[in-house]
Amino acid sequence: MDESLAQRAAACGIEPGYHDIWGRWREASDQTVRALLAVLAVDPGAPAADEAMPPAVPPCHWPPALEQGRRVWGFAVQLYALRSARNWGIGDFTDLTALLELAARHGADLVGVNPLHALFAHDARHCSPYAPSSRRFLNVLYVDVEAVPEFAASAPARALVGSAAFQARLRALRAAMHVDYEGVRAAKFELFERLFAALRDNPARGAEFEAFKRAGGEPLYRHALFEALQEHLYARDPACWGWPNWPPAYRDPAAPAVADFARAHRDRIDFYAYLQWLADAQLAAAAARSRALGMAIGLYADLAVGVDANGADVWAERELYAHGLRIGAPPDDFNPRGQDWGLLPWRPQRLHAAACAPFVDVLRANMRHAGALRIDHVMGLRRLYLIPAGAQATDGAYVRYPFGALLAAVATESRLHRCLVIGEDLGTVPDEVRAALAAARALSYRVLYFERDAEGGFRAADAFPPAAVATVSTHDLPTLAGWWEERDLALREALGLWPDMAFAAAQRTARARDRALLVERLKREGLLAQDYAAPAAFDDALALAVHAHLARTPSAIAVVQPEDVFGERDQANVPGTVDAYPNWRRKIAPALERWADDPRLRACAEAFAAARPR
């Protein structure tokens, strides 16, 4: 890179290269740098140099239980994946409350969920919780229709749901192996229309709704306006999917055509605001129930790293975003071709100039009902791996963000909302970022698969860090059974996600070695008998031993994925795939009502309760 190009890149926060997870230096190509400059150099100036590292940041909030040295545990679920005898084919906020109650009975202090962000109400097939339309508002498909007060007051709504035809639809939605998002959407929206109509007959509820709208202000109004406008335009022409594909007259929220639409469709805008009110009220009720149960943390929420370029947040504040760039990750062992998440990043300069106010708004929206907030890809506070339009995921570069101001905002909002912060710090994370997060008392995120000792074996339980969340796996990684049986390796090979057969063979060799190392570690911990012979197929004894190992760690929080307890083989999401795998659709096999009596879950809970008493 010549000196002139390097200077221009530095002025826009573009880093010249990075060390990958194998320790190799990867220099950003001139082509990549020029493509990034074409977008980022539009704004004069850049984040101040002293923003690269934060000044002293006041600590984040810790709940009293952790302050007193207690170690807690809980479950982490994809909410949509919960089966129950009463839901409508997708886990909902009533299921969440039931899971909180079950967790508390078993001695757990938290339940973690996937991001609950608003997706695209007009088209439920776009179902990734990590690619939302808005991070400020909620996915209304999680509303339990039958728990809405208007349902009890609406004879037409109750009659429709009670009909034989509708009950048959619900049975089919519940029985489906994967979430039928469009079927769920059709059923729920059919009822939402009737419930909204019933609101007019209840002045007291109507007054509460008006108060909610006033409190939501312009952001709520614009979100509901986006939903109504997207629905309207998509119904006329399916090519109008996402605001960049709308007629030009509607692409600016302040445009006269948008104002005309709003005047003509006030009721529909109110309808979408009403759905947000229902979702917010039910989530708030679940959080209140966790507090009533005496859970130390309660609801553990998740914040996605970015938003879909076609969605409501970008439409409402499009000047903040770096159009033509996408957030992703460089190559690693699980994703040798890198990752392109298709998410639109903020412009670091604009974010800095706004004193990080947009980020503060997002934090407030997600901390409001949460006892803990996991920040996905927390290194994004310091830098993001950005990929120019048309480039491969391997052809990105890191761009700096105003780390000091962003981390200070996290800590401030954490204390204001009394919300613990967990930074998901997997991947290529600079040491100084981990040090700054630790100084701010944000918990680290430690996954069993990656926790190794100096010899490459699995880390001893007592060697896990205390200021951390310990877990076996994540939504983007194989389940424990899938990892043991190489389900993920076979799937990636079948889908052509490995660069070549030699790489695939090396992965299988490494996995066989890792299985032996895991068994060796569990024997050293006294969790497996010395004569235990590792089975080819994953078994319940191994699952219990792994979770007992996790329970013994000094980490402040240990998180259990029910899929790992129940021995499920298929993971929630396979990075690098879109339609080739049913991402974000897989359901947990046992219905929620059966969990309490499942001997596998009881044994796991007993191991955690023994190691981490309340």
CATH number assigned to the domain comprising residue 306:
3.20.20.80
State residue 227's pLDDT score.
Answer: 98
Rounded to whole angstroms, how far apart are CA atoms 201 and 327?
47
- Same structural domain, 470 and 413: no
Residue 219 placed within a domain:
no
State residue 578's pLDDT score.
Answer: 84
Dihedral over Cα of 118, 282, 301, 89: its sign: negative
| Boundary (domain end) residue, out of 410, 426, 442 | 442
- Same structural domain, 343 and 465: no
- Same structural domain, 316 and 432: yes
- Same structural domain, 434 and 448: no
Dihedral over Cα of 73, 366, 576, 341: its sign: negative
Structural domain total, the chain? 2
Given a cut of 70, the residues of the chain with pLDDT beneath it are 43-55
- Same structural domain, 408 and 321: yes
Angle of CA points 186, 192, 195, to nearest 5°: 150
Q: pLDDT digits over 164-179, tens only? A: 999 999 999 999 999 9
- Same structural domain, 610 and 478: yes
- Mark 524-551 as b/e (b = at least 16 C-beta within 10 Å): ebebbeeeeeeeeebeeebbbbbbbbbb
Residue 511 placed within a domain:
yes
- Same structural domain, 395 and 451: no
Chain CA centroid to CA 360, Å: 18
Domain limits for position 10: 1-70+296-442
- Same structural domain, 450 and 573: yes
| Boundary (domain end) residue, out of 418, 442, 466 | 442
Residue 171 placed within a domain:
no
The residues, ordered by sequence, that sit 6+ positions from 512 with a Cβ below 8 Å of its Cβ are: none
- Same structural domain, 406 and 476: no
Residue among 30, 41, 25 at smallest CA distance from 1: 30
Residue 278 placed within a domain:
no
Residue type for position 120: F
Residue 118 placed within a domain:
no
Q: pLDDT digits over 302-328, tens only? A: 999 999 999 999 999 999 999 999 999
State residue 183's pLDDT score.
Answer: 98
Extract the tokens encoding 301: 């929420």
State residue 51's pLDDT score.
Answer: 52
Give burial (CB, 10 Å; 0-12/13-18/19+) of 514: middle
Residue 210 placed within a domain:
no
- Same structural domain, 4 and 55: yes
pTM of the model: 0.95
| Residue owning tokens 């929630």 | 572
| Boundary (domain end) residue, out of 407, 442, 477 | 442
Rounded to whole angstroms, how far apart are CA atoms 114 and 132?
12
- Same structural domain, 535 and 469: yes
Contact 115, 151 (CB under 8 A): no
- Same structural domain, 399 and 467: no
Distances (CA, A) of 182 to 41, 123, 141, 578: 42, 7, 10, 17
Angle of CA points 287, 304, 220, to nearest 5°: 65
Largest CA distance in the chain: 76
Rounded to whole angstroms, how far apart are CA atoms 142 and 588?
16
State residue 49's pLDDT score.
Answer: 40
